[in-house]
Amino acid sequence: MRVLVTGGAGYIGSVVTEELVKDRHEAVVYDSLYKGHEAAIVAGAQFVHADLADAATLRQTLAEHRIEAVVHMAADSLVGESCAQPAKYYQNNVVNGLVLLDAMRDRGVNRLVFSSTAATYGEPDQQPIEETAPNNPANPYGESKLAFEHAMRWYAQAYGLRYAALRYFNAAGASERCGEDHAHETHLIPIALQAAAGKREFVEVYGDDYPTPDGTCVRDYIHVIDLARAHLLALNALDEGGRIYNLGCGGSGYSVNQVLEMARTVTGKDIPARVGPRRAGDPAVLIASSDKIKRELGWKPEYQDLRVIIESAWRWMLAHPDGYSE
Ligand code: UDP
């Protein structure tokens, strides 16, 4: 298939593109490089350097490359930032998303795989979270992703859009070529590894008074390659209407303290931690039930072990001490 990957120069987008190319799809990366890296764009993919808000270029790209399907990953995705700057999240995740939906409608492109998030659920009473759990986002990030999911649902009904919304839990780890390199890193695992590499003095633990076994937040970490492979399964399965799938590894998840401990084990380094205040918008526990995607699409995560996930991220960091260094 000829697939447009918005955000294909980003952390998850680059690995999704890698998997598309491996699977012999024609991938066209569409990225503004405002957060992505040109060096992350996979060999074998084409690249259009443009912003989603640029409707004319988007339409032209869909036409010129005779795009048949879109994997839409270009977005802002930080919980804390979204609480401070909701306008940015509504603009980039909702308004620009609608630009994409309308460009697709104009060009008759009706297949869409969307990177959504567990943040749509807020903090449900039951863990692991199933797709039938009520949506109640606790931050503008989750709210903006849910708004786009709703738009897809109505576009499916009225215009025949076929879509899958993949609700990611905590993507982590790296492929051999592609890893996590954010200008202002906010994610726990890369931050812990930066501390191990001597690039920061300590890791601040955002609160240890949560109602969890050790008081720190519990998350469900999923290897970015397993996550990426789910996009291909979803793409091949698109049919009438929409599907929503959670993507995590389930189990009992890992607390912030457990992640730090595993990062110490993997790196063999001291990683000093200091407890600070809670971060706005953080639910105590987020653990996925991914039974639905396993059952319906035959998704099988290969790298569920936190140790394997952190080892891959550490390998990538050691091989790329300055990230993509542009
Ligand atoms: N976290 C932390 N210190 C940090 C970064 C993150 O304690 O420097 C915590 C954060 O509060 C959350 C978990 O680690 O409970 C995972 O956060 P991350 O930002 O990696 O992903 P999120 O869950 O926000 O998608």
Helix 306-319 / helix 188-196 crossing angle, nearest 10 deg: 60
Q: In this structure, are 203 and 310 located in the same domain? A: yes
Q: In this structure, are 193 and 318 located in the same domain? A: yes
* Ligand 1 pocket, mutate which of 120, 182, 202, 219 (most atoms under 8 A from CB): 219
Range 247-260 average pLDDT: 96
Q: In this structure, are 89 and 238 located in the same domain? A: yes
Structure-block tokens of residue 253: 């998840």
Q: Report yes or no on 180 lying in a domain.
A: no
d(CA 44, CA 90): 33
Atom of ligand 1 nearest to the CA of 218: 15
Q: Report yes or no on 182 lying in a domain.
A: no
Q: Report yes or no on 80 lying in a domain.
A: yes
Q: Are 280 and 83 in contact (CB under 8 A)?
A: yes
Predicted pLDDT at 183: 86
Which of 229, 247, 265 is at the close of a domain? Answer: 247
Residue 170 Cβ inside 6 Å of ligand 1? The answer reads yes
Predicted pLDDT at 325: 84
Interval 34-93: pLDDT, tens? 999 999 999 999 999 999 999 999 999 999 999 999 999 999 999 989 999 999 999 999
What is the domain extent for residue 94?
Answer: 2-172+221-247
Range 130-141 average pLDDT: 96
Q: In this structure, are 89 and 110 located in the same domain? A: yes
Predicted pLDDT at 185: 92
Lowest-confidence segment of 141-155, 256-270, 278-292 by average pLDDT: 278-292
Range 226-244 average pLDDT: 96
Q: In this structure, are 144 and 53 located in the same domain? A: yes
d(CA 133, CA 72): 24
The answer on pLDDT for 277 being more than 80 is: yes
Which of 232, 247, 262 is at the close of a domain? Answer: 247
Residue 92 Cβ inside 6 Å of ligand 1? The answer reads no
The answer on pLDDT for 236 being more than 80 is: yes
Q: In this structure, are 235 and 101 located in the same domain? A: yes
Residue 320 Cβ inside 6 Å of ligand 1? The answer reads no
The answer on pLDDT for 250 being more than 90 is: no
Q: How far is the CA of 270 from the centre of ligand 1 (A)?
A: 19
Q: Report yes or no on 306 lying in a domain.
A: yes
The answer on pLDDT for 266 being more than 80 is: yes
Q: Report yes or no on 98 lying in a domain.
A: yes
Q: Report yes or no on 282 lying in a domain.
A: yes
Structure-block tokens of residue 217: 């937040």
Q: In this structure, are 199 and 269 located in the same domain? A: yes
Q: Output the domain CATH number for residue 57.
A: 3.40.50.720
The active-site residue out of 89, 141, 221, 245 is 141
Interval 60-75: pLDDT, tens? 999 999 999 999 999 9
Q: In this structure, are 132 and 200 located in the same domain? A: no
Range 8-31 average pLDDT: 98
Confidence band, pLDDT 50/70/90 cuts, at residue 281? confident
Q: How far is the CA of 96 from the centre of ligand 1 (A)?
A: 26
Q: In this structure, are 106 and 156 located in the same domain? A: yes
* Ligand 1 pocket, mutate which of 120, 182, 188 (most atoms under 8 A from CB): 188
Residue 279 Cβ inside 6 Å of ligand 1? The answer reads yes
141 is catalytic: yes
The answer on pLDDT for 326 being more than 70 is: no
In the three-class reduction of DSSP (H, G, I as helix; E, B as strand; rest coil), residue 312 is classed as helix
Predicted pLDDT at 125: 87
Atom of ligand 1 nearest to the CA of 187: 20
| Cβ contacts of 24 within 8 Å, gap of 6 or more | none
Residue 186 Cβ inside 6 Å of ligand 1? The answer reads yes
Q: Report yes or no on 48 lying in a domain.
A: yes
Q: In this structure, are 63 and 165 located in the same domain? A: yes
Which of 231, 247, 263 is at the close of a domain? Answer: 247
Between vectors from CA 72 to CA 116 and to CA 290, what angle results, nearest 5°? Answer: 35
Residue 316 Cβ inside 6 Å of ligand 1? The answer reads no
- 171 or 326, which is more confident: 171
The answer on pLDDT for 233 being more than 70 is: yes
Q: Report yes or no on 65 lying in a domain.
A: yes
Q: In this structure, are 213 and 262 located in the same domain? A: yes
Q: CA 288, 296, 77, 160: dihedral to nearest 10 degrees?
A: -140
Q: Which residue's alpha carbon is nearest to atom 10 within ligand 1?
A: 206
Q: Which residue's alpha carbon is nearest to atom 16 within ligand 1?
A: 188
Q: How far is the CA of 81 from the centre of ligand 1 (A)?
A: 12
Q: In this structure, are 164 and 92 located in the same domain? A: yes
Q: Output the domain CATH number for residue 292.
A: 3.90.25.10
Q: How many domains does the chain have?
A: 2
